[in-house]
A and B are shown apart, each in its own frame.
Chain A
């Protein structure tokens, strides 16, 4: 940098004689400081540093559970690590990819990238129009060089060189009569710029997807229908700029969910083999439905939204009656699977009763119950070989303070567990078709049957095509930028008079000394072969003439 201030020069300060002057740093000023910061930020070393920092910063996202993937695991982790977890949470280790520090790194990286590609694009556009530079005086100083003497005249030699280099797609120019300059590999920088520009395109696509995309998840039991709208999804996550009124109004009915598991004993027993949802889809309410199937890897597309089959489980149909035999509750209630063998948990909230006499029933559904329960409620296989529910019953106020709560959890703050006459908790085990009489004349619970449910996710991402096209362009640019070499080849000719001992005695014949030089910015194994080829080409010409 040119900010070299030499303090060794003992300049006297005229205003304050006798004292050595303070070293006078040139005043950068606000603009100058900004420019300095900008230069630092857009330097390759900074970009390199940010790139490595980005890699390191991403790693905690794989070590700590992340809220965007599994909020439940984050809650478990916090419960298990009461001392460290709050600090980790404060520094965003459970939301790494939306944390300020991670965002800061990639934003700086992209600012640095843009600051690098804009000036480079200008330089490159200029280079694309420019002629190859004048040939250096001494080509023997270049990385690759060769020399030969030929009978060709200087013009003929240059023409021969031009012919070969043209074939090898060099851009050529002669600045004078005795030299030729050639340059090739402009696509290298073009590729580099396309690659880096396309990376920003990927980010733009991600931003568009974030702003205009939305997702809605719904749990749909077999035989039921679902009309898409912002209010009907179990969870609905719109981007900030999504208009909820404009969601596609399709109606989806789940006719049957075909699920198969591996029944061969050994490793892989109980592994899923097939999930297919047979549905009927109509584009809007009242419109005719067509049968469609959705399976893993084969989403269904309707009105720009994709419907994915992402989960499945069981919905026991449970009926609760009061002592008079009036039905208080009859629904296919989804129980959420907790493990690979579909031990599932769920809650039945009988809110048709007055507080504080409301009933909350919570417990497990086991598709293949281990009959003894020695290790508690355990399922042995994910399919319904021996379905059973194991439930406990609570009485009191279901919704204290009318606060909103999840349909999958029971708030027992204002509830008491229902007990048998001997005071022990009433534990209910039912197989399909069985009924249990709740102690104290509170009525009955019947496990009618079990149906499957499909966990469907409906998503739109208008940014995805932008990211995809950018990614493909980036790959193309990367290949060009890495494989093509920027090369310069120069040829100089110098007429000499060679004395040839011919039959006429000492007769001077004109000859030409040709020097060839090759230059490459990059380590370039191919450059030597081009110089060689040029050398051989000219040498052959000599032989022929």
Chain B
């Protein structure tokens, strides 16, 4: 019981640090916007001068991406971005500790009910972001990742909280560790892909109407670059989701005697898979606007949310996956 209480303390602490990280990331964006926009203009002018100067001619005639130009970021903005990143590392470490202690308290994988799934998924989002942020200069993305993490943690603590306890027999299987963990890691990638996807759509719109008042959006990487990143992240999510589906089917065969019975959770897992598959196909089809494809990916994420909330909690969707603990 002591361990479970400590887990809660760690969780609350991580929420406090995530809040600070969120503020720091916003602070970073506010410092970044004008400077990066200026840097881009300067770079553009210099590029114009360089043409024909005999330097090795490379194919990059488009505007350089802000994310590719960290050296042009003002010292102030870079400093704030790094502070925010450090805070995110700390908060994620605390959250991972909370998940780990919860797992030790209940002597099983700590994702056996909605509360535990939400916190584990939030920690996966945090961890995935931490692992990718430094390398890809994702400081601009931070606020759009940390805010949903906070939202989910808040919801988990306020609405979904379930005391540490033993599982019902159907969940007592090593497949809980495999199927459910891959599921929430997939959800973590879909969450990051969703955030970048929304930013891409906003950025693409502003690139078409450049006269609008400048904002931090201008400091983001180009829409083409955002689109590529969102695609890659969603692709990882999609592969993991495929694995989730198959692992779930194997477990269902063991627990319920049939690998596929069109239980509501299975249906929505299938719907999510199908929608993201449609996104992958749509993007691979020549002549389809990438923005249209992105709307499919966003729809897929809405289905992920429906699958976690409505399907778990609304009695219309009653089925065999009734493990919400609510």
A522 to chain B, nearest CB (A): 8
Docked complex Cα distance between A148 and B296 (Å): 44
State whether the Cβ of A51 lies closer than 8 Å to any Cβ in chain B.
yes
State whether the Cβ of A200 lies closer than 8 Å to any Cβ in chain B.
no
Contact A471 B249 (CB under 8 A): yes
Docked complex Cα distance between A475 and B250 (Å): 14
Q: Chain B 145-188, CB within 8 Å of chain A: the 1/0 string? A: 00000000000000000110110111011010000000000000
Contact A69 B257 (CB under 8 A): no
Docked complex Cα distance between A144 and B58 (Å): 7
Contact B264 A297 (CB under 8 A): no
Q: Chain A 273-303, CB within 8 Å of chain B: the 1/0 string? A: 1110000000000000000000111110000
Chain B residue with Cβ nearest A467: B259
B-side contacts of A297, CB under 8 Å: 169-170, 172-173, 175, 254-255
Contact A69 B163 (CB under 8 A): no
With known contacts A44-B281, A144-B59, A475-B242, A52–B275 Cβ distance under 8 A: yes
With known contacts A48-B278, A297-B173, A475-B243, A464–B259 Cβ distance under 8 A: yes
Q: Chain B 290-321, CB within 8 Å of chain A: the 1/0 string? A: 00000010000000000000010000111100
A75 to chain B, nearest CB (A): 15
**Which segment of A169-177, A261-269, A441-449, A498-506 sits at the interface?**
A261-269
Contact B166 A273 (CB under 8 A): yes
A59 contact from B231, B246, B259, B267, Cβ within 8 A: B267
Q: Which of B255-296 touch A at CB < 8 Å?
A: 255-264, 267-268, 270-271, 274-275, 277-278, 280-282, 284-285, 296
Contact B319 A310 (CB under 8 A): no
A-side contacts of B258, CB under 8 Å: 215, 459, 461
State whether the Cβ of B22 lies closer than 8 Å to any Cβ in chain A.
no
With known contacts A62-B267, A475-B246, A535-B56, A274–B257 Cβ distance under 8 A: no
Docked complex Cα distance between A147 and B54 (Å): 11
Contact A271 B267 (CB under 8 A): no
Docked complex Cα distance between A522 and B231 (Å): 11
State whether the Cβ of B325 lies closer than 8 Å to any Cβ in chain A.
yes
State whether the Cβ of B205 lies closer than 8 Å to any Cβ in chain A.
no
State whether the Cβ of A63 lies closer than 8 Å to any Cβ in chain B.
yes
State whether the Cβ of B228 lies closer than 8 Å to any Cβ in chain A.
yes
A-side contacts of B256, CB under 8 Å: 308, 310
Contact B56 A146 (CB under 8 A): yes
Contact B281 A61 (CB under 8 A): no
State whether the Cβ of A55 lies closer than 8 Å to any Cβ in chain B.
yes
Chain A residue with Cβ nearest B261: A69
B325 contact from A268, A308, A467, Cβ within 8 A: A268
B163 contact from A96, A267, A522, A535, Cβ within 8 A: A267
A340 to chain B, nearest CB (A): 10
Contact A310 B257 (CB under 8 A): yes
A41 to chain B, nearest CB (A): 15
With known contacts A55-B274, A297-B255, A523-B228, A69–B262 Cβ distance under 8 A: yes
With known contacts A147-B57, A297-B169, A55–B278 Cβ distance under 8 A: yes
Contact B253 A464 (CB under 8 A): yes
State whether the Cβ of B86 lies closer than 8 Å to any Cβ in chain A.
no
B-side contacts of A414, CB under 8 Å: none
A58 to chain B, nearest CB (A): 5
Q: Which of A92-149 touch B at CB < 8 Å?
A: 96-97, 140, 142-148
A472 to chain B, nearest CB (A): 7
Contact B262 A66 (CB under 8 A): yes
With known contacts A296-B169, A482-B280, A62–B56 Cβ distance under 8 A: no
State whether the Cβ of A47 lies closer than 8 Å to any Cβ in chain B.
yes
Contact B242 A478 (CB under 8 A): yes
B43 to chain A, nearest CB (A): 18
State whether the Cβ of A324 lies closer than 8 Å to any Cβ in chain B.
no
B-side contacts of A482, CB under 8 Å: 235, 238-239, 280
Q: Chain A 63-94, CB within 8 Å of chain B: the 1/0 string? A: 10010110001000000000000000000000
With known contacts A62-B317, A467-B259, A523-B231, A51–B278 Cβ distance under 8 A: yes
Bin the interface of chain A by size.
Answer: 35 or more
A-side contacts of B281, CB under 8 Å: 44, 47-48, 51
With known contacts A140-B57, A272-B169, A308–B280 Cβ distance under 8 A: no
Contact B270 A58 (CB under 8 A): yes
A-side contacts of B228, CB under 8 Å: 523, 525
A296 contact from B162, B172, B231, Cβ within 8 A: B172
State whether the Cβ of A10 lies closer than 8 Å to any Cβ in chain B.
no
B276 to chain A, nearest CB (A): 10
State whether the Cβ of A54 lies closer than 8 Å to any Cβ in chain B.
yes
State whether the Cβ of A184 lies closer than 8 Å to any Cβ in chain B.
no
Contact B274 A273 (CB under 8 A): no
Docked complex Cα distance between A428 and B175 (Å): 47
A-side contacts of B270, CB under 8 Å: 55, 58
Chain B residue with Cβ nearest A217: B257
Docked complex Cα distance between A145 and B260 (Å): 50
Docked complex Cα distance between A143 and B260 (Å): 46
State whether the Cβ of A167 lies closer than 8 Å to any Cβ in chain B.
no
Contact A273 B242 (CB under 8 A): no
Q: Which of B223-248 touch A at CB < 8 Å?
A: 227-228, 231, 235, 238-239, 242-243, 246
Contact B264 A472 (CB under 8 A): no
B-side contacts of A61, CB under 8 Å: 262, 264, 267
Q: Chain B 208-231, CB within 8 Å of chain A: the 1/0 string? A: 000000000000000000011001
A341 to chain B, nearest CB (A): 15
Docked complex Cα distance between A44 and B287 (Å): 11
With known contacts A63-B316, A144-B59, A474–B163 Cβ distance under 8 A: no
B-side contacts of A461, CB under 8 Å: 253, 258-259
Docked complex Cα distance between A73 and B270 (Å): 23
With known contacts A272-B169, A297-B170, A482-B280, A267–B271 Cβ distance under 8 A: no
B60 to chain A, nearest CB (A): 8
Q: Chain A 248-274, CB within 8 Å of chain B: the 1/0 string? A: 000000000000001000111001111
Q: Which 3 A-B pairs have the closest CB atoms?
A: A62-B264, A55-B274, A296-B169
Report 10 cross-chain contacts, Cβ distance below 8 Å, ordered by A residue: A58-B262, A58-B274, A62-B317, A69-B263, A146-B57, A273-B168, A297-B169, A471-B249, A482-B235, A482-B239
Known: A45-B285, A52-B274, A464-B259. 4 other contacts (CB 8 A): A59-B271, A62-B267, A69-B262, A528-B59
Interface residues of A (CB under 8 A from B): 44-45, 47-48, 51-52, 54-55, 58-59, 61-63, 66, 68-69, 73, 96-97, 140, 142-148, 206, 215, 262, 266-268, 271-275, 295-299, 306, 308, 310, 457, 459, 461, 464, 467-468, 471-472, 474-475, 478-479, 482-483, 522-523, 525, 528, 535
